[in-house]
Amino acid sequence: MSTRTCRTSRCPSCKGQTLTGLSDDTLAWSVQVDPVPLSAQGEALALLAGRHTYAAQRHEGRSVRLHQRTRWQIAGTPAGARGLVVFDVYADHRCGAVLPAAAVSHLAPAPRGADSDQPPF
């Protein structure tokens, strides 16, 4: 297993479940994220709270690596978007910080017309 592969772990302070990995391929640091995939609204709330967000991307079909999201990635590929590239977005772990249920990707409503060939008007 590569050192870039993220793994499940526990926060040493609150003992909450987290994912731990390096923040990127170069000039990286160790990060812990809450293992709850975010919606676009959830990512915005996390960023407003001063948290960083990370995309979990599958590498060579097996390992999962974290990549810190830039403002261009956040705007161009919103968290929870259903497109050609599908990946989950997570917020860095803050002990006791809980985002509202609407911030979670799997609870967010599907985009209008996402699974349809009908135009959205």
End-to-end CA, the chain: 48
Piece of 2-10, 55-63, 76-84, 94-102 that binds Zn ion (CB under 5 A): 94-102
Our finding on whether 107 is near Zn ion (CB under 5 A) is no
User: Could you tell me the CA-to-CA distances from 21 to 44, 59, 65, 85 in Å, in that order?
Assistant: 22, 13, 7, 21
User: Which of residues 14 and 86 has its CB atom nearest to Zn ion in the complex?
Assistant: 14
3-state secondary structure of 70: coil
Question: Looking at 8, 13, 26, 118, which residue binds Zn ion (CB under 5 A)?
Answer: 13
Bridge-partner residues for 15, per DSSP? none
Piece of 40-48, 59-67, 88-96, 97-105 that binds Zn ion (CB under 5 A): 88-96
> What size, in residues, is the chain?
121
Piece of 6-14, 23-31, 39-47, 79-87 that binds Zn ion (CB under 5 A): 6-14
Phi, psi dihedral angles at 117 (to 5 degrees): -95, 10
Residue 20 CB burial class (10 angstroms; 0-12, 13-18, ≥19) = middle
Minimum distance from CB of 117 to Zn ion (Å)? Answer: 45
Question: Looking at 86, 95, 110, 114, which residue binds Zn ion (CB under 5 A)?
Answer: 95
Our finding on whether 11 is near Zn ion (CB under 5 A) is yes
What residues make contact with Zn ion under the rule CB under 5 A?
Answer: 11, 13-14, 16, 95
